[in-house]
Amino acid sequence: MVIERVTGLAREARGLGLSGDFAGGHVLLDEAAGIAGEETVALAVISLERGRLFNSAGSPAEAVPFFEAAWTLAQQAGDHDLAVDAAHMMAIAVPLPAAADWTRKALAYMDLNSTSAFWRPMLHHNLGWTYFEAGRFDQALASFIREERLRKQAGSPQALKIARYAVVRTLRALGQFEEAIDIGEMAVALADQVNDPAPFLYEELAECHAASGNEERAQYFARRAHQALSGDSAFAKREPLRLVRLSELAAPEATPENE
């Protein structure tokens, strides 16, 4: 079938994009376009994945027309999950306040159509980070709290851990260290019960305890974070300063020797 062949090529194109081979991804989508003909769903898939390639390559302005086309085509075809996917990518590619508008549009569309429950918390998650990066921390926190509630209802421990990390990170940005510590310590305790590492929560707790003046707890969580993250070569290459900071927090402050 046309749609299966197009979807397979689109999936491969996305994989190439994730590996940084954007040109190769576009070649595969060109091949898919030659197969698609006038098949609306196939055209929507190609537009969506081409937009993703441009966005991943750091060109969101080039991505936007393809996401808009995918949004329109998917609705025409009655593929509601594909339409929400396109709207969620629009919300990632455009700046505020348009990102918030697209998130609301996607949520309203979900209220009217049958779609996967996966999308609702994801929309709040992405909008939260958009607000966070814009320095609008109160609005980011509201989005992350909505996501956390939905993740809790869904019963996915891993997704819930990520949502709670976002809440803790934003509370730290707001200077609300005690609340961040309460939520973070609870999340780490739950993760520890099932032997599930939570290095980014360790990092946040190290920073929050340090800001609150609890040097012992800051050192404890900094050591856990550093041990976990220093073994991640991709993280070490991408975030060397964060590892340096964790090393500083993990080491007790030097004291002059008594003479």
Q: Would you state the pLDDT for residue 255? A: 42
The Cα 246–Cα 232 span in angstroms is: 14
pLDDT tens digits, 215-224: 999 999 999 9
The Cα 246–Cα 207 span in angstroms is: 9
Structure tokens at 2: 């046309």
Specify the pTM.
0.88
How far apart are the two ends of the chain, measured CA to CA in Å? Answer: 84
Whole-number average pLDDT of the chain: 95
Provide mean pLDDT across the span 207-211.
98
Residue 259 has pLDDT above 50, yes or no: no
pLDDT tens digits, 123-178: 999 999 999 999 999 999 999 999 999 999 988 899 999 999 999 999 999 999 99
> CB neighbours of 210 closer than 8 A, spacing ≥ 6?
218, 222, 249
Helix spans in the chain (H): 2-18, 22-36, 40-56, 60-77, 80-93, 98-112, 119-133, 137-154, 157-173, 177-193, 199-212, 215-229, 233-238, 240-250
Provide the phi-psi class of 242: left if phi over 0, else alpha when psi is between -120 and 50, else beta. alpha
Q: Would you state the pLDDT for residue 251? A: 87
pLDDT tens digits, 4-50: 999 999 999 999 999 999 999 999 999 999 999 999 999 999 999 99
Q: Would you state the pLDDT for residue 154? A: 86
Instruction: For residue 80, give the DSSP letter.
Output: H
Q: 1-110 adopts what CATH topology?
A: 1.25.40
Residue 258 has pLDDT above 80, yes or no: no
Asked if residues 150 and 121 have their Cβ atoms less than 8 Å apart, the reply is yes
Percent residues over pLDDT 70 in the chain: 97
Please confirm whether the linkage preceding 252 is cis (ω < 30° from 0): no
Structure tokens at 93: 């590619």
Structure tokens at 197: 């590492």
Of the candidates 224, 218, 189, which has an alpha carbon nearest to the alpha carbon of residue 205?
218
The CA-based angle 162-174-212, given to 5 degrees, is 90
Q: Would you state the pLDDT for residue 192? A: 96
Provide mean pLDDT across the span 78-106.
96
The Cα 72–Cα 154 span in angstroms is: 29
Percent residues over pLDDT 90 in the chain: 94
Per the listing, tokens 């030659």 go with 34
Q: Would you state the pLDDT for residue 253? A: 56
Residue 254 has pLDDT above 50, yes or no: no
Task: Delimit the domains of the chain by residue range.
Answer: 1-110
Asked if residues 41 and 75 have their Cβ atoms less than 8 Å apart, the reply is no
pLDDT tens digits, 228-239: 999 999 999 999
Structure tokens at 59: 């060109």
The Cα 107–Cα 99 span in angstroms is: 12
